[in-house]
């Protein structure tokens, strides 16, 4: 198990390059915030769906699949900015799909 942790740390260090850990953590949370804003934009489509102007369900389905995979990946790796940034896409994507039917 120690070898796995050492390998993960080595991969993390190699992936970050010259970027300091603190700066990388801030970048992760800023990206999380912008992802959440992007997924909140589905609220307007949900509103239109409920008002009778049904939209396509292709993009919301793709969002649900994509965000489910990234949320799972982030949770399993304990990479909370990735998990938190994609979780709203799962919920809002599902709501958008069901209101578009």
Does the predicted model carry a pTM greater than 0.75?
no
Convert the pLDDT of each residue in 40-71 to its tens digit.
889 999 999 999 999 889 999 999 999 999 99
CB count in 10 Å sphere of residue 12 = 13
Using DSSP's 3-state secondary structure scheme, residue 77 falls into: coil
Average per-residue pLDDT in the chain?
Answer: 86
Which tokens in the block code for residue 89?
Answer: 């896409």
Half-sphere exposure of 93 (CA within 13 A, CB side): 20
Phi, psi of 92 (to 5 degrees): -70, -35
Q: How far apart are CA 12 and CA 70, in angstroms?
A: 17
């Amino acid at each position: 198990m120690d070898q796995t942790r050492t390998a993960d740390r080595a991969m993390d260090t190699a992936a970050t390059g010259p970027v300091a850990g603190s700066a990388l953590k801030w970048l992760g949370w800023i990206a999380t915030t912008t992802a959440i804003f992007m997924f909140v934009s589905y609220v307007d489509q949900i509103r239109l769906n409920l008002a009778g102007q049904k939209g396509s369900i292709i993009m919301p389905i793709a969002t649900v699949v994509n965000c489910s995979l990234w949320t799972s990946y982030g949770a399993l790796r304990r990479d909370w900015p990735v998990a938190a940034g994609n979780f709203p896409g799962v919920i809002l994507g599902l709501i958008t799909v069901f209101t578009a039917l």
